[in-house]
Chains A and B, each alone.
Chain A
Amino acid sequence: MAEHSQHPPVRTYLVVAAVLSVITAVEISVFYLTIFERVLAPVLIVLSAAKFSLVVMFFMHLKSDHRTFTGLFVGPLAIAILITLALMALFGAFVVAQP
Chain B
Amino acid sequence: MSRGIRGWITTVDHKRIGILYGVSAFAFFLVGGIEALLIRLQLARPEGAFLSAGTYNELFTMHGTTMVFLAVMPLNAAFFNYVVPLMIGARDVAFPRLNALSYWIFLFGSLFLNASFFFGAAPNAGWFGYANLTAKQFSPGPNIDFWLLGLLILGISSLIAGFNFIVTILNMRAPGMNFMRLPVFVWMTLITQFLIILAFPTVTVGLIFLMFDRFFGTNFYNPAAGGNPLLWQHLFWLFGHPEVYILILPAMGIVSEVLPTFARKPLFGYPVVVYSGILIGFFGFGVWSHHMFTVGLGAVADSAFSIGTMLIGIPTGVKIFNWIATLWGGRIRFTTALWFALGFIAMFLMGGLSGIMHASPPVDMQQQDSYFVVAHLHYVLVGGSLFGLFAGIYYWWPKLTGRMLSERAGRWNFWLMFLGFNVTFFPMHFLGLMGMPRRIYTYAPGLGWDLWNLVSTVGVFILGLGILVFTGAAVASLRAGAPAPADPWDGRTLEWAVASPPPEYNFAEIPTVHHRDELWALKTGRVPREMAPPVPRELHLPPPSYYPILVAAGILVAATGALTHVALVVAGFLIVVFGVYAWAFEYRS
* A interface, CB within 8 angstroms of B: 68, 72, 76, 79, 83, 87, 89-91
Contact = CB atoms under 8 A, between A and B. Distances in A.
17 contacts: A68-B170, A72-B166, A76-B197, A76-B198, A79-B198, A79-B285, A83-B202, A83-B238, A83-B285, A87-B234, A89-B301, A90-B234, A90-B289, A90-B297, A90-B301, A91-B228, A91-B230
A89 B304 CA distance: 12
Enumerate the 9 nearest inter-chain pairs by beta-carbon distance, A residue then B residue, closest first: A76-B198, A79-B285, A90-B301, A87-B234, A79-B198, A90-B297, A83-B238, A68-B170, A90-B234
A88 B117 CA distance: 39
Contacts of A76: 197-198
Contacts of B297: 90
Given A76-B198, A91-B228, 15 more contacts: A68-B170, A72-B166, A76-B197, A79-B198, A79-B285, A83-B202, A83-B238, A83-B285, A87-B234, A89-B301, A90-B234, A90-B289, A90-B297, A90-B301, A91-B230
Contacts of A91: 228, 230
Interface string B287-326: 0010000000100010000000000000000000000000
Contacts of A90: 234, 289, 297, 301
B205 to A, nearest CB: 11
Nearest to B167: A72
Interface string B42-70: 00000000000000000000000000000
Contacts of A72: 166
A72 B166 CA distance: 10
Contacts of B166: 72
Interface string B190-202: 0000000110001
B179 to A, nearest CB: 12
Which of the listed residues B228, B234, B289 has the most CB atoms from chain A within 10 Å of its own CB?
B234
B343 to A, nearest CB: 34
Contacts of A89: 301
Interface in B125-180: 166, 170
Interface string B261-295: 00000000000000000000000010001000000
Contacts of B234: 87, 90
Contacts of B238: 83
Nearest to B163: A72
Contacts of B230: 91
Interface in B181-211: 197-198, 202
